[in-house]
């Protein structure tokens, strides 16, 4: 068993592409909280995530931040791909949210794989274009959506299957690119309506249906 088992699309590569990619990649591990990449650095490797999640966020000079997207197991990092191809430096920061395992494919091997394997190329650029689509959606939300709706969406998303969101108000504010006070007020209101229950450093979704209804209204 090799690391390509984690990436169904790569596992289907015809030989000799697959073994080429397998041999060139090194598996690396990082602890939760590690900075995977940061603004100003040029990327050295193409990254494929095997385990864990990486949060990619933009930082403003004023200290505010907004989450651009998350990279989850089985995905590659769009910003790394774009910078690698365009020979640019990172603009955003990537932070491991959990302990992670990833495959690092050196730039030279990446270039070679891109040029020699149409399937690998499709895998890389399909991921890139899908992330680009997400970014357009994000722009629309930041520019035009009300904060209560965005918060409701994000809470449901972060809770996943559970009903628990183990984050502080400040962290939620950073998710949406807004200020802590704004989140505090919205959550107070959500709680008043019986939609969530708050506690220090976490909250519980009580009435998910109501949150979904808020999102779909107007």
Partner DNA sequence: ACTGCGTCTGTGACGATGTCACGGTCGGTT
Partner DNA sequence: AACCGACCGTGACATCGTCACAGACGCAGT
Q: Is position 159 an interface residue for its own copies (rule: CB under 8 A)?
A: no
What does 200 interact with, of its own copies, DNA, none (CB < 5 to 8 A by kind)?
DNA
Q: Is position 73 an interface residue for its own copies (rule: CB under 8 A)?
A: no
Cα 146 from Cα 211, distance rounded (Å): 14
Binding window for its own copies (CB under 8 A); candidates: 6-14, 73-81, 148-156, 184-192: 73-81
Q: Is position 174 an interface residue for DNA (rule: CB under 7 A)?
A: no
Q: Is position 44 an interface residue for its own copies (rule: CB under 8 A)?
A: no
Where helices occur in the chain by DSSP H, the ranges are 8-11, 17-24, 78-86, 107-116, 118-144, 147-159, 169-176, 180-192, 208-216
Q: Is position 144 an interface residue for its own copies (rule: CB under 8 A)?
A: yes
Closest CA to 172 of 163, 184, 162: 184
E strand residue ranges, 38-78: 45-51, 54-59, 65-71
Cα 19 from Cα 175, distance rounded (Å): 39
Of residues 72-111, those binding DNA (CB under 7 A): none
The partner residues of 106 in beta bridges, in order of sequence, read 45
From residue 106 to residue 135, the character string flagging contacts with DNA as x (rule: CB under 7 A) and all else as - is ------------------------------
Tell me the number of residues near DNA by CB under 7 A.
24
> Residues interacting with DNA, by CB under 7 A?
62, 64, 144, 146-148, 168-170, 177-182, 184-185, 187-188, 198-202
């Amino acid at each position: 068993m090799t690391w390509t088992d984690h990436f169904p699309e790569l596992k289907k590569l015809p030989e000799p592409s697959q073994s080429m990619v397998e041999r060139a990649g090194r598996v690396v591990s990082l602890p939760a909280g590690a900075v995977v990449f940061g603004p100003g650095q040029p990327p050295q490797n193409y990254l494929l995530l095997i385990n864990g999640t990486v949060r990619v966020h933009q930082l403003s000079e004023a200290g505010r931040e907004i989450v651009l997207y998350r990279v989850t197991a089985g995905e590659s990092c769009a910003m790394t791909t774009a910078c690698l191809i365009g020979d640019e430096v990172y603009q955003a920061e990537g932070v491991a949210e959990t302990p992670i395992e990833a495959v690092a494919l050196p730039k030279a091997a990446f270039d070679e794989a891109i040029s020699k394997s149409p399937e690998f190329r499709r895998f890389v650029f399909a991921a890139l274009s899908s992330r680009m689509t997400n970014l357009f959606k994000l722009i629309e939300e930041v520019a035009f959506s009300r904060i209560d709706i965005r918060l409701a969406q994000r809470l449901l998303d972060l809770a996943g299957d559970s009903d628990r969101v183990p984050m502080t108000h400040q962290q939620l504010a950073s998710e949406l690119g807004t200020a802590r006070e704004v989140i505090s007020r919205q959550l107070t209101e959500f709680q008043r309506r019986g939609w969530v229950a708050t506690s220090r450093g976490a909250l519980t979704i009580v009435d998910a249906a109501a949150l979904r209804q808020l999102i779909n209204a107007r």
